[in-house]
A and B are shown apart, each in its own frame.
Chain A
């Protein structure tokens, strides 16, 4: 089944404790992206990747890192999480970039930072 898989689905952590949210897609998509979803603010892009070893900042990149060492994986790293990073996070992928084909989303990771 074609899908975007995120793990974990739920995560509770404390301020400053490094964490990684994994994302994997099995559709051989070139483009991958991370979004956070907050009430009243909609989906906002954190980082995106056009292909392996190519990443770029989205609208809200502060406090986040990403890497794209393999085509299928695009982990989101929070080196020192803070409470304002409590949010619902979505990974997404598309065949050839945001402007050419629709995004396929994972089922989300709900992160709580205390």
Chain B
């Protein structure tokens, strides 16, 4: 069945460097994608979303890239800070009523 996956389960970056978190999706019909951040003891927090009619969307220090040809989604975090340490999920909208979530990537920011 359709699923959303992440290439790297853990990612460690130096403070101040840029982070790139990747996600592969399998449903070519999906048209809405979201990145979430989950800190310990909290629920997932919305970071940024993108629709399939876009290739790129920027927020504050974050950029999401969508490559529909290879069904790939990435989240770029500029100048990574200690507060960015968390688990990051991508989510793919599946026929309108449900999101399919990946297992998550843990981002660790090294001092």
Contact = CB atoms under 8 A, between A and B. Distances in A.
Nearest to A90: B43
A98 B46 contact: no
B31 interface: yes
A43 B4 CA distance: 11
A74 interface: no
Interface residues of A, number: 27
Interface residues of B, number: 23
B43 A99 contact: no
Nearest to B49: A102
Interface stretch (B10-18, B60-68, B77-85, B96-104): B96-104
A105 B97 contact: no
Contacts of A99: 31-32, 93, 95-97
B102 A42 contact: yes
Contact of B98 (A41, A42, A98): A98
A97 B44 contact: no
Interface string A30-49: 00010100001111110010
Contacts of A71: none
B24 to A, nearest CB: 14
A98 B44 contact: no
B103 A40 contact: yes
B88 to A, nearest CB: 12
A104 interface: yes
Contacts of B25: none
B111 interface: no
Contact of A98 (B36, B89, B97): B97
A33 to B, nearest CB: 8
A102 B31 contact: no
B101 A48 contact: no
Interface of B: 31-32, 34, 36, 41-46, 49, 89, 91, 93, 95-99, 101-104
16 contacts: A42-B89, A42-B104, A43-B89, A56-B97, A92-B43, A98-B93, A98-B97, A99-B95, A100-B32, A102-B46, A103-B34, A105-B36, A106-B43, A107-B41, A107-B42, A108-B41
